[in-house]
Amino acid sequence: MTSLRRRSGRLALLAAASTLALTGTTAGVAGAEVPPDAPEQVRNGDFGEGVSPWFSFGTGALQVTDGKLCTTVPGGLANPWDAGIGQEGIPLIAGAEYTLGFDATADPGTAIKAVLQLGGPPYTSYATVDATAGNSGERVEQTFTVPEGNPSAQLIFQIGGSAAAQTFCLDNVSLRGGEAPEPYEPDTGPRVRVNQVGYLPGGPKNATIVTAATEALPWQLTSATGAVLASGRSTPRGVDEASGQNVHSVDFSAYRTAGTGLTLVADGETSHPFDISGTVYDQLRSDSLQFFYAQRSGIEIDGDLIGEEYARPAGHLGVAPNQGDVDVPCQARVCDYRLDVRGGWYDAGDHGKYVVNGGLATYQLLNTFERTKTAATADGGAALGDNTLRVPERGNGTPDILDEARWELEFLLRMQVPTGKPLAGMVHHKIHDRNWTGLPLDPADDPEPRELHPPSTAATLNMAATAAQCARLFAPYDAAFATRCGTAARTAYAAAKANPARYASPADSTGGGAYDDSVVTDEFYWAAAELYLTTGEQKYLTDLTASPHHTADVFDARGFSWQGVAALGRLDLATVPSGLPAAERTRIRASVTGAADEYLAEIADQAYGLPMPGDANSYFWGANGNIINNAVVLATAFDLTGDAKYRDGAVQAMDYLLGRNALNISYVTGWGEHHAKNQHSRMFGNQSDPSLPNPPAGSLAGGANAALQDPFVAALLPGCEPMFCYVDDIASYSTNEVAINWNSALAWIASFLADQDDAPAPARSTCTAEYVNYGTWAGGGGFTSQVTIRNTGTSTVDGWTARFAFTGDQKLREAWLARASQSGATLSAKNESYNARIAPGGTVTFGFNATTGGGANPAPGLITLNGKACS
């Protein structure tokens, strides 16, 4: 589902009065003159196109009334800059003359100040114009010379500070002067576009050539020393819809030998270098997960763990100048209590924390781990265990990826409305600053008051779903926390059913994104699915099977995201062991592979190999995350079937993100010869302040957005072809922001691909396994099970170890006919001396007793024999 997020480019004025008073201008310089044909620098100054791209802070909602941009301004604000209307992305040229003009009215009347300024600290002012607005609406015009250049300045009308409340309107805003900007031409490098990181030896290897040629072209794969390793001819593809380029495809999949520094040569061009290796994604798994530690709120970030340049004090713990998050009030008239909502992850480039986006990101980290229980290539989760990430909790006996997910889970639990209060059990939609803050800004330096926003049904169900996951996944590691999650999930789900239509307001976007969603049937389906998988209870099964999503096609051609989450429930019902009837599980799994087949067809149709349509509607805010989520469906289809075509499809989706695209850029910081590094972020603002770092390696940019939803790209890229609607600039929040839900998708797919090693052809299973649960004992506190393994191969097995993972809190008590042990959720059974050999066609059986506190107790989804999956 395409989702539009009004994000943190709306930078409110936070500077002190002494800073704002500095005009830094030669306003009114004698002799300054702007020619009548000088270019206009303000967009939509007559408001004929509605409100966009104007924004406000400290005011009521903006609206166009009788052709004017109007709003309400509270009385009694202490300073003029406590309320304002503005536009970003104003290009200024040092030494050039400009004329600023506008019509302003106010009732009953107020002093205003128009300021052209730097949009972040130290908020340098390039020019100011003082005026008085009353009922008459007289025209204000002033000409001045700008002392400094800035390609993306702010124009702010400061309208606060009056004793009385005002109704304020603007019209005919104009800033003429300077020079028309040169057309922007991105540096796209060599015309041969490849995955700049590399390819798996046994996987697909595809490239794209941008060329005017219409006939097939010769190509050569060359080593780092220039030796020709392979050659062939390209396939002409015509004009690609998304890029507007005439392109050819190259398939060099037949070359399977590992190597480093390889290049592809065609049409007189040499690609960026790349590797062929079974380990190309190993570090990306770690880097993409490490991003979350760097985004943590409420904890000091340790430079010894992720690099000294990323060290910073804890943010939003109520230490001056912070005013949150340990004792946060609600917005006015929302609640009469305060909550401790410390912790969690900063959502994106701003300092807000949003439950619906945090829910999706948490789900994907938890699901990345849960996949290891059922995926044949995941090696039982060894690469995601304890001491695999650089996090403070490493070495505590819990897988580090679960430790990272817990940081957000604890925050989500704290957002629940307390018992005894109205809407108890519901979950507040978000918490963020009262006003937009500038960029860059360290979290510890944020002076804005923080506020809880109203509870919403969507947020409540997000917490219910992820807390239900928490209950089953944390049970082997922290039973008390798992119980707390389970209780919160049940309470939240019941509260959501009692309040099924409480929606976040799309207008609630001052100081943070709205994240509004008025269709929550998909959230109900997802939450019911997770609660059923954790508890096995009939009431949740009844709800999920009654949902219209249960039999619908939940896999959108343009991927799933925070606003459409039915696919999450479907994916887990397909992969997490449960008590669903076999025919129902078969139907559900067929829906996953059916969607994957459609994505494969799209990949074949796209010259750049994307599992997304090529029209402009497929290039939207955060589309890179949706592209990966389609790859997640392909990867899941591979896990379910073992059919390599699905794995190959997931690999090709990553080719696009890592350089095989029209811009020839890797969208992942630190990965590839030419990669994004100036993503929109208050913490990683190197482009604005060289003393700050760029985003850490493994940070994913949102990607091309044909809607051009920030002023910077709107001015820079008008009329761009969809795949070209991106710029690696900190000012472009609609194409180049970071976000936790995009990085969680990257972490999921990177972990999957790292598990594929050399991507060999899937091996034929040489064993079958039957698991029988003989029922409970001790009043339901334990059960007895038996596993029978048959050797379906042609060679005798001489010594064996069988492994599988429980779904929840099950704990081994004793075993017979095998020496058994348990680590986390994984049970390992090794042969006794008398049953070590399994002849072809022969069987071996072992049994065990285990305890459980209740909940779902299905047969495991994967049983391995000596590391190989049994069917």
The per-residue pLDDT for range 41-62, each reduced to its tens digit, is 999 999 998 998 999 999 998 9
Quote the pLDDT of residue 365: 98
Helix (H, G, I), strand (E, B) or coil at 381: helix
By annotation, the residues acting in catalysis are: 350, 680, 728, 737
Percent with pLDDT over 70 in the chain = 96
Predicted TM-score (pTM) of the model is 0.86
Please state, as a whole number, how many other Cβ atoms lie within 10 Å of the Cβ of residue 521: 13
Quote the pLDDT of residue 751: 98
pLDDT (tens digit, 9 = 90+) per residue, 442-465?
A: 999 999 999 999 999 999 999 999
Q: How far is CA 52 from CA 10, 43, 182, 702, in A?
A: 12, 9, 24, 21
Backbone angles phi, psi at 227, to 5 degrees: -70, 140
Is the pLDDT at 3 greater than 70, yes or no? no
> What pLDDT band is residue 24 in, cutting at 50, 70 and 90?
very low
Is the pLDDT at 19 greater than 50, yes or no? no
Top-confidence residue, 550 or 182:
550
Q: What is the mean pLDDT of residues 252-258?
A: 98
* Cα–Cα distance measured from residue 611 to residue 145, given in angstroms and rounded to the nearest whole number: 51
> What pLDDT band is residue 20 in, cutting at 50, 70 and 90?
very low
pLDDT (tens digit, 9 = 90+) per residue, 534-593?
A: 999 999 999 999 999 999 999 999 999 999 999 999 999 999 999 999 999 999 999 999
Backbone angles phi, psi at 520, to 5 degrees: -120, 15
Quote the pLDDT of residue 436: 87
* Cα–Cα distance measured from residue 197 to residue 277, given in angstroms and rounded to the nearest whole number: 10
> What pLDDT band is residue 181 in, cutting at 50, 70 and 90?
low
Is the pLDDT at 7 greater than 90, yes or no? no
Residues in the chain, overall count = 871
- Residue 2: name the closest of 457, 580, 558, 385 by CA: 558
Quote the pLDDT of residue 11: 32
pLDDT (tens digit, 9 = 90+) per residue, 781-799?
A: 999 999 999 999 999 999 9
Quote the pLDDT of residue 13: 31
pLDDT (tens digit, 9 = 90+) per residue, 327-366?
A: 999 999 999 999 999 999 999 999 999 999 999 999 999 9
Q: What is the mean pLDDT of the chain?
A: 93
Top-confidence residue, 476 or 438:
476
Quote the pLDDT of residue 79: 92
* Cα–Cα distance measured from residue 37 to residue 44, given in angstroms and rounded to the nearest whole number: 18
For the chain, the C-alpha Rg in angstroms (whole number) is: 29
Q: What is the mean pLDDT of residues 149-177?
A: 94
> What pLDDT band is residue 868 in, cutting at 50, 70 and 90?
very high
Is the pLDDT at 5 greater than 70, yes or no? no
* Cα–Cα distance measured from residue 675 to residue 663, given in angstroms and rounded to the nearest whole number: 10
Is the pLDDT at 8 greater than 80, yes or no? no
pLDDT (tens digit, 9 = 90+) per residue, 216-250?
A: 999 999 999 999 999 999 999 999 999 999 999 99
Helix (H, G, I), strand (E, B) or coil at 586: helix
